[in-house]
Copies of this chain bind each other. A is one copy, B any other.
Amino acid sequence: MSYRAPVKDMLFVMKELAGIDAVAQLPGHAEAGYDTAAAVLEECAKLNEDVIAPLNRPGDLNPSSFANGEVRTTPGFKQAFRQFADGGWQGLQHPVELGGQGLPKLIHAACAEMVNSANLSFALCPLLTDGAIEALLTAGSDEQKTTYIPKMVDGTWTGSMNLTEPQAGSDLSMVRTRAEPQPDGSYKIFGTKIFITYGEHDLAENIVHLVLARVVGAPEGVKGISLFIVPKFLLNADGSLGARNDVHCVSIEHKLGIKASPTAVLQYGDHGGAIGYVIGQENRGLEYMFVMMNAARFGVGVQGIAVAERAYQQAVAYARDRVQSRPVDGSLPAAAAIIHHPDVKRMLMTMRAHVEGCRAMALVAAAAFDAAHAHPDADVRKQNQAFYEFMVPLVKGFSTEMSLDVASLGVQVHGGMGFIEETGAAQHLRDAKILTIYEGTTAIQANDLVGRKTARDGGAMARAVAGQIEATERALAGRDSVAARAMLKRLAAARQAFVDVVGFIAGQTKASPNAAFAGSVPYLLLAGNLVGGWQMARALIAAEDRLADDVDADFMRAKITTARFYADHILSKVPGLRDSIVDGAAGVTEMAVEAF
């Protein structure tokens, strides 16, 4: 099933909701306005539609394989990666002086959605490389930056993130990998890392592993973790590849999905010690890693949107094609394409509304990131940074949970054919299931939302978001369309439920932590649902205005109907979530652990 990048939808969001024109006013982004975005997206669409998307199913059928310490990726991946890097896509958001394009995150996020829709397994390699670049930009020395980043930007090398160990998953305080300082200022690294995405592969000539490890004698817990560069091949003085470093892939995992992306077990130091170089200061590794993780978390949220979009497109195509049963209203004399049946439409609308809501949320967050980094006014930067940080767990947590429902509906629309692997619908469901787990499970995102993003400031940022939503409600109240009234009703109820929950969470997190955290994931789902719905409300307003101007009427009508669907079918879930959070702690906390 072919993929068509939703360029028009993306540009609508960028222009009407995320404010690409304002982003183009930021210092350094003068050329990143609407026209640039449109041109970049069109170019990006071509590569992903024509080259990368066709490799998605072959990657599932013929995954990365492991033999003798080496990983062979799916045939075609290497050439596609070359085209991807040569086209400048790896460097899209990275600094011009290090070989990148220097474009805003707003444009990068849309392009990232495309490559992930095209091929989630393939796209993980650039995603992890982006994370490594971010960490080096944050804390690397100038020499480290100039040594490693340009080679990663041009795709000669790739990056990997090495956090997890068998006993240290969500809990990084338990990392045991050991770093021994050497007289020359380098370190020898010893340990085992698991679940390392693209930790070994044949797409590039070197891999820059960023590795969390504990320097001998460092404090216990997270305050004793440092971050190291451990290249697969060491570098000679002239920058050419030197000796093979003592890091070796000992196996790759047999997974439910994203099969083409190799998930490596890496063994460090079995032959004398892997040479590593500390990034920044010792014992501050987790802090640097969080920079990388926040970028990666946002990126995984985009993956959720991407796989949901792909599943949606495939379901629509099948529903137009498959003929079965007469319409219930008797409007056609014979069996019709199933897209005419109300429940099939309801499923497709659910998929579509979720994708559009989450995409708008992500792109609005990306624009805030850009303002947080480039706006000349420090206060504006600070506000945008706080808004962006509030959004990250929602983009990651809600978009990925939503992607599971959407991918499952995608199978359902196909009926029995959906369960047959040849159809390809099931792959999206299998692929999507990792998204709620890696880069921090939904519960970890929810802990972040509850602890750092809500309780720490007493709910101030959350209430500021509610205030912005109220402004949208006032705009809706000034309109007399049926759709605007329907949206206003649901949005106001959902926003009020959110305010109730913020009060509960901000009040309970210290006093009664088990009660607050029992509601953490429902709170995340509530907040993500609401913010998506808020953006759909803004889309509805924009689309009604464009429609009044007689611009692209069918497109705008579809936007309005999708927003209305979101209001009545998705936002309508929010008050129930409030009840679960505010009243539901006892049902969790009163259960004795022994009683399960």
A interface, CB within 8 angstroms of B: 164, 167, 169-171, 173-174, 194-195, 253-257, 316, 319-320, 323-325, 327-330, 335, 337, 339-346, 348-349, 352, 404, 408, 411-412, 415-416, 418-422, 426, 429-430, 433-434, 436-438, 441-443, 446-447, 482, 486, 490, 513-515, 517-518, 520-522, 554, 557-558, 561-562, 564-569, 572-577, 579-580, 583-584, 586-596
Given contacts A517-B342, A518-B346, contact A412 B441 (CB under 8 A): yes
Nearest CB of chain B from residue A434's CB, rounded to whole Å: 5
Best-surrounded residue of A169, A520, A569 (most CB of chain B within 10 A): A569
Best-surrounded residue of A518, A558, A579 (most CB of chain B within 10 A): A579
| CB nearest to A489 among chain B residues | B583
A412/B426 in contact, CB under 8 A: no
* Set of chain B residues within 8 Å of A430, measured between Cβ atoms: 256, 430
A408 to B434, CA, bound (A): 11
A421/B255 in contact, CB under 8 A: yes
| CB nearest to A586 among chain B residues | B564
Given contacts A343-B517, A433-B426, contact A564 B587 (CB under 8 A): yes
User: Could you show 22 A-B contacts with beta carbons less than 8 Å apart?
Assistant: A171-B325, A174-B335, A195-B416, A253-B420, A254-B420, A254-B422, A255-B420, A256-B429, A328-B517, A339-B596, A342-B520, A343-B518, A345-B518, A346-B521, A558-B591, A561-B586, A562-B591, A564-B590, A568-B583, A568-B584, A572-B576, A572-B580
A589/B342 in contact, CB under 8 A: yes
* Set of chain B residues within 8 Å of A595, measured between Cβ atoms: 554, 557-558, 561
A556 to B36, CA, bound (A): 65
A352 to B408, CA, bound (A): 22
A170/B415 in contact, CB under 8 A: yes
The 10 residue pairs across chains A and B that have the minimum distance between CB atoms: A565-B587, A568-B584, A343-B443, A342-B517, A558-B595, A256-B426, A342-B518, A171-B325, A572-B579, A328-B513
* Set of chain B residues within 8 Å of A345, measured between Cβ atoms: 518, 588-589, 591, 593
Nearest CB of chain B from residue A93's CB, rounded to whole Å: 27
A513/B580 in contact, CB under 8 A: no
* Set of chain B residues within 8 Å of A340, measured between Cβ atoms: 593
7 further A-B contacts with Cβ under 8 Å, apart from A253-B419, A415-B437, A558-B591, are A170-B415, A319-B596, A339-B593, A352-B596, A558-B592, A564-B587, A565-B588
